[in-house]
Amino acid sequence: MKRILATTFSILCAAGCTSIKNGDSPAPELVGGCSHDHELPPLKLEAADKRLLASRSSKPRKASDYYFALPSSCFSIMEASPERRATFVQKDSMSDSYIHAERWFECDGGGFDVTIRVFDAPDGPLVGISSSTYEATILYSDPDPGPGELESITVHRPQFWRYTDGKWVRVSESILPMITRDFVIDRYRNHYKAHLKTTDQRKFIWLSYDLPPSGNVVSITGRENFMDPSETYVWRRLVFNGERFTEKANSEQGGAPNP
């Protein structure tokens, strides 16, 4: 599951992180063997970076075009020049309709990740964006859970936008329904039954809506903190019908975790 920073998103992405300087220290501060230096290495463009930069269009039509059109605040404390942005992209998974980029400093020192998926729609391209700067939704919270009880359910989901005349316009949240607290708790207790493990420890559930590299199905994945981290647990699937995302039939939801 991607790393998520639960900060507020404004317009597209929220600023609010600041760079930590080394001051007069001649070397990065080391805490527990970790470097807390926030200096990026000297910029070096590979051939793939140069091709990506050369492919940019002033009239966005590909996921990479929308990526370069993002406000710099989406990149948190990272330098956000077009050249730097190109180096952050994971080239092996990129396509005309999909792009993922990320860069994190060591020791939880901050950073960003962003995924863009372009869906074809009758009214023009629908741009789904998943960003570490989006604020997560708390579906359930128990301030004083007992041993082995569920303390919280947190959900991170993408937002949908249209890019018109150089401006980002937010699409209503109703286009992508929020998974319900009751559904998550029922599936957790009656299907995965993870609450039966480690009965003396508090439990947390973190879920994420995953934008697909291809196809029109968004899967909601995630796990409770004591569920097997080597497995991908699919809690629900939603399919885009050209206008909005709707739930797939129960027979298509799947049950067992997908490796």
**Sequence ranges of the domains in the chain:** 42-252
Residue 223, pLDDT score: 94
How much is the pLDDT for 210? 98
Tokens of 124: 């023009």
Residue 92 has what pLDDT?
A: 94
Task: Tell the residue number behind the tokens 């091709």, with chain if given.
Answer: 51
Give residue 4's pLDDT. 40
Residue 106: both structure tokens together: 């060591």
Strands (E), 27-174: 30-31, 34-35, 98-104, 111-119, 126-131, 137-141, 150-156, 159-164, 167-170
Do residues 78 and 88 lie in contact, with contact meaning Cβ atoms separated by under 8 Å? yes
CA distance 183 to 203: 17
Q: Are strands 150-156 and 203-210 parallel, antiparallel or unpaired?
A: parallel
Give the model's pLDDT for residue 198: 83
- Spans in the chain with pLDDT lower than 70: 1-37, 108, 195, 249-259
Whole-number pLDDT of residue 249: 61
pLDDT at 32: 53
Measured over all CA atoms, what is the biggest interatomic distance in the chain, rounded to whole angstroms?
Answer: 62
Beta-sheet strand order (sheet of 98-104)? 98-104, 111-119, 126-131, 159-164, 167-170
